[in-house]
A = this chain, B = another copy of it.
Amino acid sequence: MINKAGREIPDEILERYGKEGFQGSFYRDQASYQKASPRVRSLMDPGRGKLVPSIREVLEKCNLRDGMVLSFHHHFRDGDYIVNMVMAQVAAMGVRDITICASSLGAAHDPVAGYIEEGIVTGIQSSGVRGKIGEAISYGKLKNPAIIRSHGGRVRAIEEGDVHIDIAFIGAPTSDEYGNARGIGGKSDCGVLSYSMVDAQYADQVVVITDCLVPFPNCPASISMVHVDYVCVVDAIGDPGRIVSNVVRMTRDVRELTMARYCTQVIALSPYFKDGFSFQTGGGGASLAVNTMLKSIMEEKQIRMSFAIGGITQPMCELLEAGLVEHIVDAQAFDLGAIESIRTNPRHHEISTSEYANPMNKGAFVNKLDFVILGALEVDVNFHVNVVTGSDGIVRGAPGGHPDTAAGSKCSIIVAPLIRGRIPTVCDKVVTVVTPGETVDIVVTDYGIAINPGRPDLIAAYRDSRLPLCTIEELRDMAYAIVGKPDEIRFKDRVVGIIESRDGTIMDVVREMEPYEAGYY
């Protein structure tokens, strides 16, 4: 079938997973469903503890066996040791056919590509898939199609029972011996444990792995002991230097500063820029610059933000300290400044990823969002955005909260340079649709700004501005005029990845690449 994003979804895939193709961003609004639930085991006897001396013994206690689904979180990003630590033991135990259900996977997890080759890992469900894992998927090494979900979509999939987690592994900067775990207080602080909260509630068995055991009770707990079966203390859960960056990069790139200026004007001139507005931005150079540029306008006009949300960086925490932001609600801390802020500022709150973005709960924070600033690998003339496949067709990105915030916010703004190297960002047709154009309102490039024709209210709002407005087709034409129209990527027929819409319908599929060299990793 051709879905509402204009993508052909093979019927075989829809049947195999019992899914529909994407039908529109609010198609499942007010849909009713029975929530999934775990099979759990009680701990009544006060004499029994939860400490287990090694990962191996934890896996034995959990009765690890072929075909299980193991879950992980990515708050430690490129510094994560947990996935490799657990998977090495899984491999050593001779277990096969494992599905990894992670909130994201990155370059730190390259060893997983080897387990895919060996058939130890046969399923990947994740937001991000980068590095060698992405290559393994794109070259058809993974037995089952990888399922790519947004952060909100992952919570939905777990809560609706599309995926059932057998064992959740939660790396925790601190934990007590009963499993009360926090994102702060240890040697590998990550600030929050938001992605793991759904795993803790819906996995049959939950294992906390920490390198900093603290006295009971470790309060207030991000992950409560009532969900935790076992606690395992290891030497190190991550590399602190790679968990967060301790330097906030303030861009001097002329293109980034140009886009930041345009984006700041887009926000300041919009009907939603008023006292009590809400805002999400990312950690990129242009985004951070918007933060700084917005500050002086907010001060001048005496406009305060009701809440800032998302991945949080130090410049946003500075707005909180300055009294320009009422609350920060945080699902991921991107730098040391954000971690310090959530540790010390009572108006900086940890939230679950369900609260952040789950489209099928009774109302998430993204529904209350005025502005979101997002990136893109590609945007096409239908405003569809690709943040997953590279220009070579290989999986190397992550939807993250992109489709969630675009759908929820009143004004979603894509900020991206018109061309990257020899690659046009604005094009006829993105390789992969991740965020549907109907939820993308404005595209800001260094060459001009296009507003979605589906938002005549916004087009009217900027009519008299001095912003370099144009159509999305004009942006495409400019890009093609500079670097030419790229050749189409050649894929095989086989589906190796499924891009799931945040509501569980199928947005797009990723197909196997033609091998271009032997021994690609």
Contacts and interface: CB of A to CB of B under 8 A. Distances in A.
Interface stretch (A79-87, A212-220, A254-262, A462-470): A212-220
Contacts of A32: 39-42
Interface residues of A, number: 66
Contacts of A225: 355, 362-364
Number of identical monomers bound together in the oligomeric complex: 2
Contacts of A274: none
A367 interface: yes
A12 interface: no
A516 interface: no
A37 interface: yes
A288 B380 CA distance: 70
Contact of A33 (B33, B34, B39, B46): B39
A361 B219 contact: no
A278 to B, nearest CB: 9
Interface in A367-414: 367-369, 407-410
Interface string A184-221: 00000000000000000000001000000001110110
Contacts of A41: 30-32, 362
Interface of A: 25-26, 28-46, 48, 50, 178-179, 206, 215-217, 219-220, 224-229, 276, 306-307, 326-327, 329, 346-347, 349, 352, 354-355, 358-369, 407-410, 503
12 contacts: A30-B43, A30-B45, A33-B39, A33-B42, A35-B37, A42-B362, A44-B367, A178-B368, A206-B362, A215-B276, A217-B327, A224-B352
Q: Which 3 A-B pairs have the closest CB atoms?
A: A35-B37, A29-B44, A226-B361
Given A26-B44, A220-B349, 17 more contacts: A30-B44, A31-B41, A31-B42, A32-B40, A33-B42, A34-B38, A50-B363, A178-B368, A215-B306, A215-B326, A216-B368, A217-B306, A219-B347, A225-B364, A226-B352, A227-B361, A346-B346
